[in-house]
């Protein structure tokens, strides 16, 4: 079983939140998933992403193969 995901409170400027929400919608992600995507990319670019971190699911509807894995 996967480890429980951590919860944090994040305060954003409303204009930043609106821009993030629009970007997330364009990529078929929630705002939360978009933030995690961007943080992971920043960590990877800085060489700070831990090696044991799993991949983020691709945006959009899960493939039929993923449905059968449950």
Domain that holds residue 29: 16-44
- How far apart, in Å, are the Cα atoms of 37 and each of 2, 47, 48, 69? 18, 15, 14, 23
Residue 36 within a domain: yes
State pTM to two decimals: 0.73
In a domain, 38, yes or no: yes
Between residues 42 and 66, the one the model is more confident about: 42
Q: Tell me the residue length of the chain.
A: 70
Residue 55 is predicted with a pLDDT of 80
Residue 51 domain-assigned (yes or no): no
Does residue 23 sit within a domain?
yes
Give residue-wise pLDDT tens across range 8-64. Answer: 999 999 999 999 999 999 999 999 999 999 999 999 999 999 998 888 767 667 777
pLDDT at 59: 63
Structural domain contains residue 37: yes
Number of separate domains in the chain: 1
The answer to whether position 31 is within a domain reads yes
The Cα 28–Cα 17 span in angstroms is: 16
């Amino acid at each position: 079983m996967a480890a429980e995901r951590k919860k944090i409170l994040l305060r954003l400027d409303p204009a930043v939140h609106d821009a993030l929400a629009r970007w997330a919608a364009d990529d078929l992600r929630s705002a939360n998933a978009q933030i995690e995507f961007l943080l992971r990319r920043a960590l990877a670019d800085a060489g700070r992403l831990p090696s044991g971190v799993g991949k983020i699911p691709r945006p959009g509807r899960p493939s039929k193969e993923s449905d059968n894995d449950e």
